[in-house]
Amino acid sequence: MYEQVSHSLLNRILDELKPDLQHRDLRHFYTRLGANFYAIYTLFYHLYGQREDFKAQIVNLVEVMATRYVQRHAKLRHLDEERETDHNWFLSQEWVGMALYADGFAGNLEGVRSKLPYLQELGVNMLHVMPVLVCPEGASDGGYAVSDFRNVDPRVGSLDDINKLAMATHKRSMLLTLDMVVNHTSDEHEWVQRARSGEQKYQDYFYIFDNRDVPDMFEESMPEIFPETSPGNFTWDEAMQKWVMTVFNSYQWDLNYSNPAVFIEMIDNILFWANQGGDIIRLDAVAFLWKKIGTNCQNLRESHLILQMMKDCCQVTAPGVLFIAEAIVAPVEIIKYFGEDAVIAKECEIAYNATYMALLWDAVATKDTQLLRKGIQHLPTKLDRATWLNYVRCHDDIGLGFDDSAIIAAGYQPIAHRRFLVDFFTGQYEGSDARGQPFGVNLKTGDARISGSLASLVGLEVALEEGDEKAIDRSVKLILLMHSMICSFGGIPLLYYGDEIGMLNDCQFFEDESKAGDNRWMHRPTIDWERAELRHKHGTPEQRIFDGLKKMIDVRKGITAFADFNNRELTDVGNPHLFVFWRTNPMLPNGSVLVVANFDDSPQYMELSALGNRGMFGYGNLHDLYSGESPRLFKDQLVVPPYHFYWLTDQRPDVGFDR
């Protein structure tokens, strides 16, 4: 939009740009800046317009964007242009991701590069390497306490290794996802050190208070994130003799985004990593970016405005780069991180589908899909040009973050039901073979979350210990069932390293003092590559899981109806153990796929008449794309074996599929 005030300011800013920037070829930069400037200006003015240095700050911002544009490699700029033309590229069903810790997966970044063929063997083409930046020697919240936003931790490699990894992934047509921890720094960051030594400029980068007056007011309405290990939201700093806001761990200092200098530093860091070849930047803990007394300091409107500005600025300099929102919050809040009142994403193009993840675990525990269905029905519709990151497990705990209203609608009582789930997955519930541990137990509120690896949570650990073949088989089936759900739902499936070979809980972390208090480490494994070789040995759980996933990924990539165009429709078939939904193909009206999943441990039946008269489905003319076979029918019913899924079509397998 052209708007006089902002554009006359822009013209003045451009006249004042550093001479070396003015003489560069900034053609594309100018076009994009012109298109985005009104939005950037409006947001920046809204947040910082009352400051005397407003004009100086916005000049800094434009200079950062221009400098990073000039530094952007020609190959990356070319990629930007390609993605601008093919703007729906990331909605395709062809993307399948995996998140991993470089050290746990392969020792270091060089090791990760050497293991790219393994990921390709599985079919993974989007790699998320979790934080690799310099962080404290001891406790570092798994690297999410960053001490230097521009340098790689020498324990995992160097900047050069990241560049090489980016080149290698691009050569293999894979995407590279990198983390940017935007909400806080570690207490070893240079900004903290300078704040501690009394520099006001850097004290203003954080929330720092002389006494408890303001902190106490904040505490009245702020929840605790790590109540067991880091109670409260403020930490006393001996050096400054002041209180600092530390929402996560006491060594993670919250950045103060009401200071424009912080915003500019962080967008500069984001663009820096975009220029190192990151295709996707995962923005950590975005729900927490803005703080206001009297609120829970999560999901505030200003946090969204900050993200919108980040997106607008990134679109000017590196428009091919996508953002992932890591906001593990209530369903109605998560969806807002795509940006409201828009068609294309105004904030992040991708968001973690924490709701779906938690609901899937509910279906595992209850063997019933009522809450899963209600929960999905309660999810507001997502923007057209935005997509989910669907996952079963990740490096964090499982939070039971579905709405109370959905729990009630499914016929349960919220507190009792959540308690049941924690008991179930920690093996406390009669008959449960899950081996998780409670995480983040808050004795004041009774809240708890769950830690544990996928395989141990679905009973594989117990089954192997007991040598119970039937139970092993059941766990393997559950692992595949869960993945079939994230591969077909709509969005990018994100596998978690180790799950593809059924890695169990790893309790070695107890021996490391800096990790012992955080049981999320039990599901952050070190891959045993000898064990991974068992994927080639017929009949082992490793082989059955790996090959099952490999096939699933391959088949998914060919099903165009699995691309994400908001083309999912839940259907109630009258059997509470079954989760059933349609995926339609907007380009091929006859190319629908019916996804059927049985979460129960006994066979279930689905009346074909429940499918109505869609194509030939109701006539039982069915073909399962995953197995390549026709499913069993009994009279007018589809038979779904225990923990089994189907991806059904009523067409010949070669029609409408990119095989």
Residue 386's contacts (CB-CB under 8 Å, 6 or more residues apart) are: 338, 339, 344, 345, 348, 349, 350, 351
**CA 352/CA 328 separation, integer angstroms:** 7
Q: Contact at 8 Å (CB) between 285 and 12?
A: no
Residue 91 vs 133, nearer CB to ligand GLC? 133
CB of 266 to ligand GLC, least distance (A): 14
Nearest to 139 by CA among 261, 44, 62, 249: 249
Nearest CB to ligand GLC, comparing residues 153 and 396: 396
Site for ligand GLC contains 39 (CB under 6 A): no
Binding mask 261-290 for ligand GLC (x = CB under 6 A): -----------------------xx-----
Residues with Cβ within 8 Å of residue 627, at least 6 apart in sequence: none
DSSP symbol at 236 = E
Beta carbon nearer to ligand GLC, 40 or 130: 130
Smallest gap, in angstroms, from Cβ of residue 365 to ligand GLC?
Answer: 23
Q: Which of residues 459-488 bind ligand GLC (CB under 6 A)?
A: none
- Assigned token pair, 651: 């067409």
285 vs 407 by CB, closer to ligand GLC: 285
Q: Tell me, what DSSP letter sits at residue 183?
A: S
- Secondary structure class of 591 (helix, strand, coil): coil
3-state secondary structure of 490: coil
Restricting to residues 312-331, name those near ligand GLC by CB under 6 A.
326
CB of 439 to ligand GLC, least distance (A): 11
- Total residue length of the chain: 659
- DSSP, collapsed to helix, strand or coil, labels residue 64 as helix
Binding string, 601-630, against ligand GLC, x = CB under 6 A?
A: ------------------------------
- Closest CB to ligand GLC among 282 and 535? 282
d(CA 634, CA 640): 10
The catalytic site residues sit at 284, 326
Q: Within the chain, what is the greatest distance between any pair of CA atoms?
A: 80
Segment near ligand GLC (CB under 6 A); pick from 44-52, 137-145, 374-382, 608-616: 137-145
Asked if 176 and 277 count as a contact pair (C-beta separation under 8 A), the reply is: yes
Report, in Å, the least distance between residue 142 CB and ligand GLC.
5
Residue 239: DSSP 8-state:
T
Distance (Å, whole) CA 148 – CA 269: 10
Residue nearest to ligand GLC (CB): 144
Q: Closest separation between CB of residue 401 and ligand GLC, Å?
A: 12
Query: Of 255 and 545, which has the nearer Cβ to ligand GLC?
Result: 255
Rounded CA-CA distance 407/641 in Å is 27
CA distance linking residue 480 with residue 544, whole number of Å: 9
CA quadruple 443, 449, 452, 456: dihedral positive or negative? positive
Q: Is there a contact between 591 and 655 (Cβ–Cβ < 8 Å)? A: yes
Write down the least CB distance from residue 209 to ligand GLC, Å. 22
Q: Which stretch binds ligand GLC (CB under 6 A): 106-114, 141-149, 214-222, 533-541?
A: 141-149
Question: For ligand GLC, which stretch binds (CB under 6 A), given 136-144, 291-299, 508-516, 644-652?
Answer: 136-144
| Strand-pair partners of 235 | 244
**248 scored as a contact of ligand GLC (CB under 6 A):** yes
Question: Least Å distance between CB 261 and ligand GLC?
Answer: 22
Residue 396 found at the interface with ligand GLC (CB under 6 A): yes
Judge residue 421's burial from the number of C-beta atoms within 10 Å of its C-beta, 0-12 exposed, 13-18 middle, 19 or more buried.
buried
Pairing of strands 492-496, 387-391: parallel
Cα 644 from chain centre: 26
DSSP code at position 247: S
Q: Nearest distance from residue 102's CB to ligand GLC, in Å? A: 15
**Region from 84-92, 138-146, 495-503, 589-597 binding ligand GLC, contact rule CB under 6 A:** 138-146
Q: Which span (1-9, 140-148, 164-172, 490-498) binds ligand GLC, by CB under 6 A? A: 140-148
| One of 103, 141, 237, 368 touching ligand GLC (CB under 6 A) | 141
Selected from 69, 95, 101, 144, the binder of ligand GLC by CB under 6 A is 144
Specify the residue, 248 or 253, whose C-beta has the smaller distance to ligand GLC.
248
| Whole-angstrom distance, CA of residue 403 vs CA of residue 192 | 38
Per DSSP, 559 falls in state B
Minimum distance of ligand GLC from residue 459's CB (angstroms):
26
By CB under 6 A, the count of residues binding ligand GLC is 10
- Our CB check for ligand GLC shows the closer of 248 and 582 to be 248
Nearer to ligand GLC, 336 or 520 (CB): 520
| Contact range with ligand GLC by CB under 6 A, out of 118-126, 139-147, 483-491, 577-585 | 139-147
Q: Scanning residues 181 to 240, which ones bind ligand GLC (CB under 6 A)?
A: 181
Binding site for ligand GLC (CB under 6 A): 141-142, 144, 181, 248, 284-285, 326, 395-396
